[in-house]
């Protein structure tokens, strides 16, 4: 049974935090799906991940719906399916996640923009829905300049 980790962005841009989290997930041996809501935004993330970190921090990834999607260790998608067999799901830009996904995956990361009131409201709604369904969850903030765990809810 996994857990949902909420990442409240206030300092680093999404691309930097996403690359850091993807590196940690790959280090844990997880296959990852990054779920967004807008294809154009996912195109921008795709390009940013190719450029992020240079050769030392290369993050092999691809887009859903393209050839070899099932072979990708990191798959960028706007859909609910994860044809790459992901064991970790990262959501961006308000993409939804279900309690069933949290419970069946090793980890779910909900990454949201702390400078966007609508994104904060959506993340709060997701926290309540997931913890209300018995999922374990942690809330992380970088407001102090470094990542700190601010809240934790055990699975029930």
DSSP letters, 99-122, are: HHHHHHSSEEEEEEETT-HHHHHH
What pLDDT is attached to residue 109?
A: 98
Please tell me what DSSP assigns to residue 147: -
Pair 10, 114: CB distance under 8 Å: yes
Q: How many residues does the chain have?
A: 156
Domain residue spans in the chain?
3-153
Q: What is the DSSP string of 22-82?
A: HHHHHHTT--EEEE-S-HHHHHHHHHHHHHTTGGGG----EETTSTTGGG-SEEEESSS--
Please state which of the four CATH numbers 3.50.50.60, 3.40.50.10110, 3.60.150.10, 3.40.50.720 is assigned to the domain occupying 3-153.
3.40.50.10110
Tokens (6 digits) for 131: 């913890």
Regions of the chain with pLDDT less than 50: none
pLDDT number for residue 114: 93
Is residue 19 within 8 A of residue 57, CB to CB? The reply is yes
Tens-digit pLDDT profile for residues 18-53: 999 999 999 999 999 999 999 999 999 988 888 765
The pLDDT assigned to 59 comes to 82
């Amino acid at each position: 049974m996994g857990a949902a980790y909420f990442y409240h962005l206030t300092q680093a841009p999404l691309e930097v935090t996403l690359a850091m989290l993807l590196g940690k997930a790959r280090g844990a041996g997880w296959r990852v799906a990054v779920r967004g809501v807008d294809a154009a935004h996912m195109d921008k993330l795709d390009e940013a991940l190719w450029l992020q970190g240079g050769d030392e921090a290369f993050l092999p990834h691809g887009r859903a719906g393209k050839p070899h999607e099932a072979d990708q260790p990191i798959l960028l998608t706007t859909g609910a399916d994860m044809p790459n067999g992901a064991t970790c799901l990262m959501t961006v830009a308000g993409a939804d996640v279900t309690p069933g996904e949290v419970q069946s995956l090793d980890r779910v990361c909900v990454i949201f923009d702390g400078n966007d009131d609508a994104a904060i409201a959506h993340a709060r709604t997701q926290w309540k829905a997931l913890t209300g369904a018995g999922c374990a969850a942690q809330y992380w903030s970088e407001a102090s300049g470094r990542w700190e765990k601010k809240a934790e809810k055990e699975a029930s």
